[in-house]
Structure 1
Amino acid sequence: MIGLTNSEDSPLARESRVAIAVPTKLDHAISVNAYSTLLIAAGALASSTFDSFLPVAPTLLRAVREVRQSLEVWQRQVEQSGWFVEGEPYYFLARGGSLGSCHEARLLWEEGAKIPATAMSTSGFRHGPQEIVREGLRFCMWIDQSRMRDQDLSVAYDLRELGASVMLIGENLPPDAGDLVCQLPNSPTNWQFAIDVFPIQLAAERMSRLLGVDCDSFRVCSYVVEDEHGLLHKKAEFSQDVE
């Protein structure tokens, strides 16, 4: 078993036949750095089993450097956007590799902003769940580099026609395709997933401030979940006697 971890002394590293420890500054509570570093490491490892990561690395590094310049733009966008509101449901939709960012976004909403959210594939949403669309609903969609772009932009358009507010994340997007459009730097083919979580991480922090909650601490969850006993860090005693 190959173990990917940010901590070389973690149980995963100790139990793995081969351990790959990715050095990074650990997060205080909710994973941000740890998510991206392990994601890229896993992608590099997977690509090496079929071809080689070396041809991809220079272009990917350039995209990551360009993200630094984009962060201020995205931060300014989320501060000024009306997409963030209290009391509305939030849905996250994506395809392909961006599904990871989609589900991470839901987790950031739950852990960071402390509110419920839903994440699913865009195709899955179109087969029944779209019946929930109504005025004021919030959606964030990841638009792939090449896969089903026109179709997904059409979904975004129709969501807005139905009264929903839509945030879009992707490369080379029409500026007016959503209520909040975060343009990504160009990345290697099939590697958009490595950088497309950053705008929604900023968005989660913005949402937490709007709601007046601490996005980097847990109210109920343990920093390390060590057992399956309840939620409140205490083991309940139950009688085994059955009358």
Structure 2
Amino acid sequence: MTEPLMLRETRQAPEAIVRQLRENAPALARLAAAVRGRRPAYAVTVARGSSDHACTFIKYALETHLALPVASLGPSVHTLYGARLDLRGALVIAASQSGASPDVVESVQAAREEGALTVALVNVEDSPLAQAAEHAIFLRCGEEKAVAATKSYLATLSALLPLIADLTGSAELRRAVDALPDHLAQTMDLAPQADELAARYRFAENLLVLARGLHYGVAQEAALKLKETCGIHAEAYSAAEFSHGPKRLIVEGVPLLGFASNDAAQLATRQAYADLATQGADLRTLGPDPQATLVTPGTGHALSDPLPSAAAFYLFAAQLAGQRGLDPDAPPLLSKVTRTR
């Protein structure tokens, strides 16, 4: 049986990140100099879909390691409601695989005109978004054909890690980033374990995905992929927020998939999952925590750990789609590029 394109492209992520590290150094050095020179007081992200979930990770990364507050900008504020936001002093980060969505492009153009420091994380190098931003940091994925984004999501997570290492002077993060392609390659060997875990959810109609902190954007992405590729109604929640009402659903037998980190959120997340288990939750976990159901490779740094978690989840989702008799490369009603205003 031919391996789904979704899986083949997931396996290309290590090569993409090698290219990032090799080819993006000059652009990242210019961006680091601009950030140091202009000293943005806060950051704003602009994105949709998988790219927006990557921006959730970027939010936690910038806030935890640069103490830079980050907010998410709704593109329709500008394109539909006509508001011109005062973004002077802001770092505006837009993410898009295609760089073609008009609402994201127009939002970046407006932010640049208002005096913001604008950055595009984009895969298609001659795209409108790459041209609209002051700084373009390319994902270096090559063409991504599968409707469900995989390698471009992973490459968006990694794109700014060298910048953070530079701005913080962290040799530990620099080493972790340099070793990241190897850790992702190791993750691909987890396909049998991912297949076994997927069998647990073969007949699920609903699924709740939990995480905290740096893994929360991965949980958001996981919920989207479960909808796209498996036809499962899935929603992502913070493991902390889940107890504020949504926990009611475990009484109805709704299963849970939790991301388990090996960072500052580890103990709090472990406790939350333990409490849910004692209350009867059907819960399995995935991540670098040694106690996870499916343990992913540790990378040596909290900022790089979510990438193997996300890659392992892609293995899981593709296997789950196959077990449900579905083709993850042909989700109904969806296309690769969605243009919104």
* TM-score (normalizing by structure 2): 0.59
Q: Which of 85, 99, 124 is 1:7 aligned to?
A: 124
Structure 1 pair 213/147, CA: closer, same or farther in 2 (3 Å)?
same
Structure 1 pair 20/184, CA: closer, same or farther in 2 (3 Å)?
same
Contact 1:139 1:167 in 2 (8 A): yes
| Equivalent residue, structure 1, for 2:264 | 147
Contact 2:289 2:295 in 1 (8 A): no
| 1:221 has 2:331 as partner | no
SS in 2 for 1:112: helix
| Equivalent residue, structure 2, for 1:77 | 193
| 1:134 has 2:251 as partner | yes
Structure 1 pair 38/158, CA: closer, same or farther in 2 (3 Å)?
same
| Equivalent residue, structure 2, for 1:187 | 300
Distance 2:254 2:326 in 1: 22
Cα shift at 1:160: 3.0
Structure 1 pair 54/26, CA: closer, same or farther in 2 (3 Å)?
farther
Distance 1:103 1:85 in 2: 20
| Equivalent residue, structure 2, for 1:44 | 162
Cα shift at 1:33: 0.7
Cα shift at 1:131: 1.3
Q: Which structure is higher in helix share?
A: 2
Distance 1:107 1:62 in 2: 28
Which string of whole-angstrom CA distances, capped at 9 and with x for unpartnered residues, describes residues 91-122 of structure 1?
11111111111111011111111221010111
Structure 1's unaligned 5+ residue stretches are 229-243
Q: Which of 197, 207, 228 is 2:320 aligned to?
A: 207
Alignment of 1:80-119 (within 5 A): 80-81=196-197, 82-119=199-236
Q: How many residues are treated as equivalent by the alignment?
A: 222
Which string of whole-angstrom CA distances, capped at 9 and with x for unpartnered residues, describes residues 201-231 of structure 1?
1111111112212112342123222246xxx
Structure 2's unaligned 5+ residue stretches are 1-117
| Equivalent residue, structure 2, for 1:235 | none
Paired residue type of 1:201: Y
Structure 1 pair 133/215, CA: closer, same or farther in 2 (3 Å)?
same
Which string of whole-angstrom CA distances, capped at 9 and with x for unpartnered residues, describes residues 113-140 of structure 1?
1221010111111222111113643212
Contact 1:182 1:199 in 2 (8 A): no
Distance 1:152 1:189 in 2: 15
Distance 1:172 1:39 in 2: 20
* TM-score (normalizing by structure 1): 0.80
